[in-house]
């Protein structure tokens, strides 16, 4: 595929703009190694301009009817559908996802988020609780918080911004968005759809540049009243400090244990492992990055998984129809894969398949789908979020041992458990410390309208994304007391 390079802009106050610094950084495709163009390197001053514009616009936007705001979001969804091919191709070039296996799917899900938020905007209801005084009437309803700062990652550069931006706008807030630098071209393409939908000036801004600068300013500024962040635990902690005192939604990392008990359907579980560990090349907070397999079925499961990976995972040119897995997005992620796999092998893990970067591709970011057996809890691949295409398998002897391992993790985002006994699966689901549990399903299964987030006390975040959970997070209760006559 031919690549067109260009100098992109950011959005300040609803209009395309350059950084006040005049500085730019280059966007490079992880799939081809080619330059995609240059992006403005935003500064704190750029973020401040965007926040000021948002505050100037927020009261007018909040005063619009929910149905008017819903119409605006529907226009954005319409534009995304019209630009489906361009958005999908850009996602493959800029992020690395296989075009046919994943990129089109993310664009389709992106439409769902905008349409869902448009519908939810018209359903945000209040109540009329009774008063102790018969001459008074009480109105209790929700109002927008004001300006919402949104900071998003590179692994799902369309849908993850949408699950925060769309409900924030639907609820009547203005939004200032700082996207991940390594998928800034995707961010521009999504921003084009929002700008071209002709929202009032100032309601939406997108400031590109280093997160440590523009993201920090958006999180800490007194001009933002709520912050939504999706990303790593380390960055999430910094965002939480900067946003102290504000309403926050923080969806952070996970180590998604996938538990295979002794009565599991091994054939189905092995097939589901492909989506669990190799969707988005394993670069997902819900990836199955730790497999806890009962000793009585361990060997059979490992062999089934090996053959399933050989048969089903096709690492290759992400534009080719048969490709199911593309490159990793960036060198830092690839280096972490290098380190975690090397550490596991040095400590005695058994290499079942894969184990290294793949040769013969345009960039060094293509990593072989990897399965490791004989993994133990002290290995980095078992303790940390690897964020790559690896299945680390730990042998367990009981449900209790699986629970002990899962609940001793610092993470608490998502767990999957496989068993033919649904009562056993439900008991496990209720006992495991995770915000979401799948029974007889991949760790990478979720539904966009359901509340999703980490368990309290874990490092996986606070609050919930998904459906009207975010709409409520970006609004606050208001009580009005009316005295009659």
pLDDT digits (tens, 9 = 90+) for 206-231: 999 999 999 999 999 999 999 999 99
Q: What percent of the chain has pLDDT over 70?
A: 100
Kindly report the average pLDDT of the chain as a whole number. Answer: 97
pLDDT band at 485 (very low <50, low <70, confident <90, very high): confident
Closest to 429 measured CA to CA, from 455, 466, 462: 455
pLDDT band at 240 (very low <50, low <70, confident <90, very high): very high
Render 67-78 in DSSP notation, one character per residue: HHHHHHHHHHHH
β-bridge mates for residue 390, sequence order: 370
Residues 435 and 447: their CA atoms lie apart, in Å, by: 14
Q: Mean pLDDT across the stretch 441-454? A: 96
pTM to 2 decimal places? 0.97
Alpha helices in 279-398 (DSSP H): 298-312, 331-346, 380-383
Residues assigned a catalytic role: 251, 285
β-bridge mates for residue 226, sequence order: 148, 247
β-bridge mates for residue 174, sequence order: 147
Predicted confidence (pLDDT) per residue in 342-368, tens digit: 999 999 999 999 999 999 999 999 999
What Å distances lie between residue 225 and 141, 147, 218, 240, 245, CA to CA?
18, 5, 10, 13, 9
Q: What percent of the chain has pLDDT over 90?
A: 98
pLDDT at 2 over 70: no
Closest to 378 measured CA to CA, from 392, 390, 366: 392
Alpha helices in 24-173 (DSSP H): 44-63, 66-82, 84-94, 104-121, 159-170
Residues 39 and 449: their CA atoms lie apart, in Å, by: 33
Q: Mean pLDDT across the stretch 421-442? A: 98
Phi, psi for residue 381 in degrees, rounded to 5? -65, -20
* Predicted pLDDT at 14: 95
* Predicted pLDDT at 398: 98
Alpha-carbon Rg of the chain, whole angstroms? 23
pLDDT at 1 over 80: no
* Predicted pLDDT at 351: 98
Predicted confidence (pLDDT) per residue in 70-110, tens digit: 999 999 999 999 999 999 999 999 999 999 999 999 999 99
pLDDT at 246 over 90: yes
Predicted confidence (pLDDT) per residue in 14-35, tens digit: 999 999 999 999 999 999 999 9
Q: Mean pLDDT across the stretch 39-50? A: 98
Domains and CATH numbers, the chain: 6-252+463-479 (3.40.605.10), 257-446 (3.40.309.10)
Residues 358 and 34: their CA atoms lie apart, in Å, by: 19
Sheet holding 461-462, edge to edge: 15-17, 10-12, 204-206, 174-178, 147-151, 226-230, 247-251, 461-462
* Predicted pLDDT at 216: 98
β-bridge mates for residue 11, sequence order: 16, 206
* Predicted pLDDT at 144: 98
């Amino acid at each position: 595929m031919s690549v067109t390079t260009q100098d992109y802009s950011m959005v300040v106050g609803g209009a395309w703009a350059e950084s006040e610094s005049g500085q730019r950084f280059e966007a490079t495709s992880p799939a081809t190694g080619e330059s995609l163009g240059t992006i403005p390197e935003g500064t704190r001053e750029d973020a401040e301009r965007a926040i000021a514009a948002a505050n100037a616009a927020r009261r007018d936007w909040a005063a619009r009817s929910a149905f008017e705001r819903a119409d605006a979001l529907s226009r954005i969804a319409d534009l995304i559908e019209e630009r489906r091919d361009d958005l999908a191709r850009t996602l493959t070039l800029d992020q690395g996802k296989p075009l046919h296996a994943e990129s089109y799917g993310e664009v389709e899900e992106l439409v769902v988020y905008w349409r869902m938020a448009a519908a939810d905007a018209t359903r945000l209801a209040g109540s009329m609780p009774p008063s102790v005084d018969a001459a008074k009437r009480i109105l209790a309803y929700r109002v927008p918080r004001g300006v919402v700062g949104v900071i998003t990652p590179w692994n799902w550069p369309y849908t993850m911004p949408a699950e925060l931006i769309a409900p924030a706008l639907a609820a009547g807030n203005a939004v200032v968005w700082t996207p991940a630098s390594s998928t800034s071209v995707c961010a521009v393409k999504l921003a084009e759809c929002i700008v071209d939908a002709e929202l009032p000036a100032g309601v939406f801004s997108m400031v590109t540049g280093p997160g440590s600068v523009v993201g920090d300013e958006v999180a800490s500024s007194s001009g933002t009243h709520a912050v939504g962040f999706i990303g790593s635990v380390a960055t999430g902690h910094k965002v939480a400090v900067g946003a102290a005192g504000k309403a926050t939604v923080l969806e952070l990392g996970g180590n998604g244990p996938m538990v295979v008990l002794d009565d599991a359907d091994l054939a189905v579980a092995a097939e589901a492992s492909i989506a669990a560990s190799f969707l988005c090349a394993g670069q997902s907070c819900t990836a199955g990055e730790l497999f806890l397999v009962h000793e009585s079925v361990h060997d059979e499961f490992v062999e089934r998984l090996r053959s399933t990976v050989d048969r089903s995972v096709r690492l290759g040119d992400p534009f080719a129809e048969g490709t199911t897995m593309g490159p990793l997005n960036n060198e830092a992620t690839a280096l972490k894969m290098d380190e975690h796999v090397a550490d596991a092998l040095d400590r005695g893990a058994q290499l079942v398949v894969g184990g290294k970067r793949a040769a013969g591709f345009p960039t060094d970011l293509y990593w072989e789908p990897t399965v490791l057996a004989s993994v133990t809890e002290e290995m980095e691949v078992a303790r940390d979020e690897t964020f790559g295409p690896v299945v680390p398998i730990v042998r367990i002897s009981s449900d209790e041992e699986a629970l002990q391992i899962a609940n001793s993790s610092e993470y608490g985002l998502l767990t999957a458990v496989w068993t033919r006994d649904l009562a056993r699966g439900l008991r496990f689901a209720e006992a495991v410390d995770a915000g979401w549990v799948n029974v007889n399903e991949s760790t990478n299964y979720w539904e966009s309208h359901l509340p999703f987030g980490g368990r309290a006390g874990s490092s996986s975040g606070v609050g919930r994304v998904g459906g009207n959970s975010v709409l409520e997070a970006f609004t606050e209760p208001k009580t009005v007391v009316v005295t009659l006559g």
